Amino acid sequence: MMTPLLRVTDLRVTLDTRSGPVEAVRGVSFAIARGQTLGLVGESGSGKSLTAMSLVGLAPPGTILQLQGTAQFDGIDLLALDERGMRALRGKRIGVVFQDPAAALDPLMTVGDHLREALPHGLPRAEAEARVAKLLDEVGLGAIPHVQRRYAHELSGGQQQRVVIASALAGDPDLLIADEPTTALDMSVQAQILQLLHDLQQARGMAMLLITHDLGVVSKYSTQVVVLRRGEMVEQGPTATLLARPAQDYTRMLLDSRPRLEALAPAADTRRDDILTVSGLSVSYPGPRAFSPRIVALDNIDFALRRGDALAVVGESGSGKSTLGKALVGLVPPDRGQIQFEENPLRPASMPREMRRKIQYIFQDSYGALNPRLNVEQALVEPFAIYGKPRRTWRDEAVRLLEEVDLSSAYLGRYPWELSGGQRQRVNIARALAVSPDLLICDEIVSALDVSVQAQVLELLARLRQTRRLSLIFISHDLAVVGALCNRTMVMRNAQLVEEGPTGDILTAPVHPYTRTLVEAARAVEFAGKPTRKKATRVVVA
């Protein structure tokens, strides 16, 4: 048995909260050797990020009241170090990759500045520049022209995360802590980043603590797994054994909650009853500088949505899928094209109030979509005032809406910050339903949610689609989620529609090379051994 590089024993973390001390991590123990990856798994609030961040002194200032237990890193007790001692390790022998690369990068610093700052101090300039160039090559950014002079906003999400990884590697660490490093990334980019981390770990012989809520990621990239729930260990063991034969109901629930490509939604009625028809829709944005050519976001898009269908719009960041949704409701002005809703021309710039009622948009950022000054009841009744519903009915209607999305009246007085991500998204769905729409446009609404909460929201949408006879446009980069909810799928790339058809055909027999790339990337973080379906014939849009 290999000697552990990091051994954590009976870790307990007590937080200082407004309501008094709370023991948020209770008795967590694990060990990682060089060259091994340990997956720390659990839902939001399980304590997985707090466990890791408390080991390296990166918990929010003033939040930790007490640390107990031991954390031996190569013979050093991490919990006994003061801040000066921790700084000698952090960023050098211990590297950290954070979940949100945009927040981890200083917007006023270039890529080169970030990497030079992360290098050991006192290096000769020529050696420092050579190290920076090597790091960029190592994370796959070396071939990008002038990449060292670029700022974070000039990079894609995947490129930003590669810069964060390069910064974490600059000190040549023995241990890498990766905290949900791919949650907000597209499926193909996610697969690239995870494979990059795995390859770098193997090449450098590092130990890696991989924090995630996705057991598919754990199944491919971790050698050991620790499952946390509400600050306590549920079970732990070798990855293959634990995932094949979980001993605890909670672990089985996490496994069952994760959508799979083969879990396909039922096909819709094939009779034509189009609620929405789009033809020749094109959208462009001004270039980044004066006299720059306009950036094409949608290029001559044609599609139809049948009444009662759930249509998925999938593609990587920048493909135009969110622009499409926003153009349909007037949040983005189209350059040209026609939109017909219920056989009536739809002009987003001058859309009648009744038409706006029939089409509702649910945003990805559940917190940003709610006014922080309004409690849940006030947020729900606001549409009633706009559309003239009698005031005496408001509270009863708000309660009914909450019950429809599986929340009780106890939530009426709560504010957005007092709700979990899943609860906030349910409130946003209830608010959209308040005006009895015919079409819901859902823009990446489950991408940041834990798999169990994600499953609950998908089940809710499927039920609402049946009980309210709703039509859905579901924008996503996660093909497994799409397969669980949507009966039709359209694939976008570089502002164009490249393939469309029944979801089962798209996921099991993709025709366009780009669609095949997306499906292969999704399978890269799927569990092995799933059956495949019979191939189908379908029209591919050039």
CATH class belonging to 274-524: alpha beta
The pLDDT value given to residue 486: 94
For 54-99, give the secondary structure using H, E and C. Answer: HHCCCCCCCCEEEEEEEEEECCEEHHHCCHHHHHHHECCCEEEECC
pLDDT reported for residue 358: 92
Q: Over the stretch 433-468, which tens digit does the pLDDT of each residue have? A: 999 999 999 998 887 777 788 888 899 999 999 999
506 neighbors 477 (Cβ within 8 angstroms): no
Whole-angstrom Cα distance, residue 281 to residue 258? 35
Contact 146, 110 (CB under 8 A): no
Residues of the chain with pLDDT > 90, as a percent, come to 54
Name the strand (E) or helix (H) holding 67: strand 64-73
C-beta of residue 48 within 8 angstroms of C-beta of residue 42: yes
pLDDT of 184 reads 64
* Cα–Cα distance for residue pair 419/411, rounded to 1 Å: 9
Average pLDDT value for the chain: 87
What distance in Å separates the CA atoms of residue 129 and residue 170, rounded to the nearest whole number? 12
Q: Judge contact between 451 and 257, C-beta under 8 A.
A: yes
pLDDT at 56: 93
C-alpha–C-alpha distance, residues 259 and 255, integer Å: 9
Which among 122, 103, 106, 126 is positioned nearest to 184, based on CA atoms? 103
pLDDT tens digits, one per residue of 83-94: 899 999 998 999
Contact call for residues 444 and 476 (beta carbons, < 8 A): yes
Segment 235-260 shows an average pLDDT of 89
The structure tokens listed for 278 are 């789009």
pLDDT value at residue 269: 54
542 pLDDT band, cuts 50/70/90, is: very low
pLDDT at 366: 85
Measured CA to CA, the distance from residue 330 to residue 281 in angstroms comes to 13
Closest by CA position to 169, among listed 141, 144, 192, 147: 141
Tell me the C-alpha distance between 507 and 516, whole Å: 8
Which of 393-402, 439-448, 522-531 has the weakest average pLDDT?
Answer: 522-531
Q: Residue type for 131, please?
A: R
Other CB atoms within 10 A of residue 412 CB: 18
pTM of the model: 0.75
- CA angle centred on 447, ends 444 and 452, rounded to 5°: 130
Mean pLDDT of 419-443: 91
Domain ranges for the chain:
274-524
Q: List all residues 6 or more positions away from 200 whose beta carbon is below 8 Å from its beta carbon.
A: 138, 139, 165, 169, 206
Nearest-angstrom CA–CA distance, 413 and 378: 9
User: Residue 310 contacts by C-beta under 8 Å, 6 or more apart in sequence?
Assistant: 265, 268, 461, 462, 465, 471, 472, 474, 485, 486, 487, 488
The residue to which tokens 């099991």 are assigned: 508
Give the pLDDT score at 293: 84
User: What pLDDT is attached to residue 446?
Assistant: 86
Instruction: List pLDDT tens digits, range 274-286.
Output: 999 999 999 998 8
Nearest to 447 by CA among 178, 187, 164: 187
Closest CA to 37 of 202, 273, 259: 202
Is residue 250 over pLDDT 50? yes
- In the sheet where 232-238 sits, what is the strand order? 94-97, 175-179, 207-212, 37-41, 224-229, 232-238
| Residue 148 clears pLDDT 70, i.e. is over it | yes
Q: How confident is the model at residue 394 (pLDDT cuts 50, 70, 90)?
A: very high
